[in-house]
Amino acid sequence: MFAYVLVLLGVASRYLMAPHVAWLNFTAVGGSLLYFGARRSRREMLAPLAVLMASDYCLTTYFYGYAFHWQDYVVTWGWYVAAMALGWILLGKRVSFMRGAVAALLGPTSFFVVSNFVVWASASFSNYPHTLAGLATCYVAAIPFYRNDLISTAITLGAAYAVPALVRRMHEGRAQEALAGK
């Protein structure tokens, strides 16, 4: 259940942080998808995908006032699924600090590499020349977004695992104190 709540918080963070220019992509989406993939079954991955697809539509048309073309989002939607798969692969069987750190690094990095390549390669999106220098310029321009995506993913993923662990430890400590006090 918590994985679903975390995805909804990730979606809500997109609206709270919009327009993204002000916060440069500081949302809980990446971390929530990694966590969801680690905690839920693969067949349940359609629910967060559908919610994020609807969120993309609403943000594009109602918040930003642009025309929505589903073709422009195929790579993003594929990345949503890939992020959940990455969570399942890296964190589904065994969670450790190192596995969490790798997931928190690979999630945003994969989105950075793929999405900026698509922006550069796309005739409808790109303001960058289709040269190696244009590709480099596209990636450099996206570094502030990437940095904040790394930070927000690490915070979200870390909190998703740390908070329940701290609650369990506190509960165990109180249970031991209660037994010792008898």
Tell me the residue range of the domain where 108 lies.
2-181
Q: What is the pLDDT of residues 16-63, one digit of tens each?
A: 876 655 566 788 999 999 999 999 998 999 999 999 999 999 999 998
pLDDT per residue over 131-152, tens digit each?
Answer: 999 999 999 999 988 999 999 9
Tally of domains within the chain: 1
The CATH number of the domain holding residue 157 is 1.10.1760
Rounded distance, CA 29 to CA 8, Å? 9
| Helix, strand and coil percent figures for the chain, each rounded to 5 | 80, 0, 20
